[in-house]
Amino acid sequence: MQPPWQPPRNDDPDNGPTSFDPDVTLSTTELGNQVAAAEQIWAQITASNTGLAVALKELQGLATQSNALLESLTGARATEQAATASAAQAAIELGVLKGRLDRARAIVREWAFQAYAEGGSGGELLSFLDAMQAEEAEVGDPLGDISYLTDQRVRAVDEVRVLTKRQDELTASRSAAQKAATDASAKIAREKAALDALVRTQQTKLAALQKSHAADVAKAGPIAAYLAGIQTPAAKAAYAKLVNVLGRTFDSAAGIGKPCSTASTAYPNGMYPTSALCPLWQAPGEMLSPRAAAAFNAMTQAYAKQTGSPICVTDSYRSLSQQYVTKAKRGRFAARPGTSRHGLGMALDLCGGINNFGSPAHLWMKQNAPVYGWFHPSWAGPGGATPEPWHWEFAG
């Protein structure tokens, strides 16, 4: 008989940051072994108790839906921000262009007035009007069409045409960007409402599972208790010690607490000052954006209460210079510097077993992280472009 599985400890060198390098990709063999191990865990639970297995599987399904919604929500927010920025940039360019267009039109108006007031020939005036109304491609040499125009006036006529065309393009671009932002905003509202309802369902079902299947969980063993969040006396005692070390009281049942900072300025990726970041509980030196840190701290406290150890973290906010180092090490497997979610303080690389698809710790994250606004992006999943069980992101 195999010994009961025990949750990893952060001071275990086999699970801690010293033995885990998130910059190393998984081989096909390692990935296959991890996925097989995860399936074996579920098979073990299923063999122990059918009712419990059904309940856990249902929770797993809800968590998968929540994870997908959180990822989609993150994409919609990025789309909204980009579209809003694009619309704003188009508006700025339109303002600059209007000044240039006004100056060019003033030159042309002045010439037209002089041509009329000073008795320019009717043929010359008609040539000017024809040149102004014709399509750019149909106009020949302006000096041939309007023989007495000066070089400045020739350039002004041409500039009016070019700038007017650009003005139309920018106006259309701004309208399209504004529509994209509006559509993304509507999608965010829909998905946020769906996510909130889904998370409430998860919380309700998890509470019901903990209450109604407590005896079954005990029979199924430590893995089931770990996934279901059933608190043993030993885990409660370990959590109490962790709280005493920190010197303050935490209540994971009370939900996500207030961020350490109200800073909300959107700094360039990888250029956040320390004042715009918040520390992570029991993860010295690691920091995230305020709301992401508050959500993670609530999640790691719940994890510690159930396992006796906080979530193991190897990497959090990543400065621009650190992103260049990572890119140099990982090549195409790393985000282009200045685009990483780490550079926004919205991503984490985790260890302590979570960095393994086949561990109960990773399964716990899949089942519980969405409740706290954290998700595992599809590209980092077992079938994704770059499988990274350790990489998790906050939806915001």
According to the model, what pLDDT value does residue 148 have? Answer: 43
Please check whether residues 246 and 187 belong to one and the same domain: no
DSSP string, 68-105: HHHHHHHHHHHHHHHHHHHHHHHHHHHHHHHHHHHHHH
Please check whether residues 36 and 140 belong to one and the same domain: no
CA distance linking residue 364 with residue 306, whole number of Å: 10
Please check whether residues 158 and 96 belong to one and the same domain: yes
Please check whether residues 165 and 100 belong to one and the same domain: yes
N residues, the chain? 396
- For residue range 110-166, list pLDDT tens digits in order: 767 766 665 555 545 555 555 555 555 554 454 444 444 455 666 776 777 777 787
**Would residue 37 be called left, alpha or beta, if left means φ above 0 and alpha means ψ between -120 and 50 degrees?**
alpha
Please name the residues in contact with 278: beta carbons below 8 A apart, sequence gap of 6 or more. Answer: 259, 260, 261, 287, 288, 289, 290, 293, 294
- Is residue 195 situated within a structural domain? yes
Please check whether residues 152 and 239 belong to one and the same domain: no
Residue 311 has pLDDT above 90, yes or no: yes
Last residue of a domain, one of 212, 240, 265: 212
Cα 47 → chain centroid: 38
Higher confidence at residue 285 or residue 231?
285
pTM given for the model: 0.71
Please check whether residues 176 and 27 belong to one and the same domain: no
- Is residue 198 situated within a structural domain? yes
Please check whether residues 239 and 206 belong to one and the same domain: no
Q: Round the average pLDDT of the chain to a whole number and report it.
A: 78
According to the model, what pLDDT value does residue 16 have? Answer: 41
- Is residue 280 situated within a structural domain? yes
Last residue of a domain, one of 165, 182, 212: 212
According to the model, what pLDDT value does residue 116 have? Answer: 64
Residue 289 has pLDDT above 50, yes or no: yes
Whether residue 395 contacts residue 291, with contact meaning beta carbons closer than 8 Å, is answered with: no
Residue 327 has pLDDT above 60, yes or no: yes
When divided into structural domains, the chain yields a total of 2
Please check whether residues 164 and 245 belong to one and the same domain: no
Question: Residue 288, SS3?
Answer: strand
Q: Rounded mean pLDDT of 223-240?
A: 70
Please check whether residues 101 and 37 belong to one and the same domain: no
Can you give the CATH number for the domain in which 357 is found? 3.30.1380.10
Residue ranges making up the domain that contains 155: 75-212
- Is residue 2 situated within a structural domain? no
Higher confidence at residue 154 or residue 346?
346
According to the model, what pLDDT value does residue 18 have? Answer: 43
According to the model, what pLDDT value does residue 17 have? Answer: 40
Please check whether residues 99 and 194 belong to one and the same domain: yes
- Is residue 3 situated within a structural domain? no
Owner of token pair 């929540």:
66
Please check whether residues 242 and 122 belong to one and the same domain: no
Residue 90 has pLDDT above 60, yes or no: yes
- For residue range 21-66, list pLDDT tens digits in order: 777 788 899 999 999 988 888 887 777 777 777 888 888 888 888 8
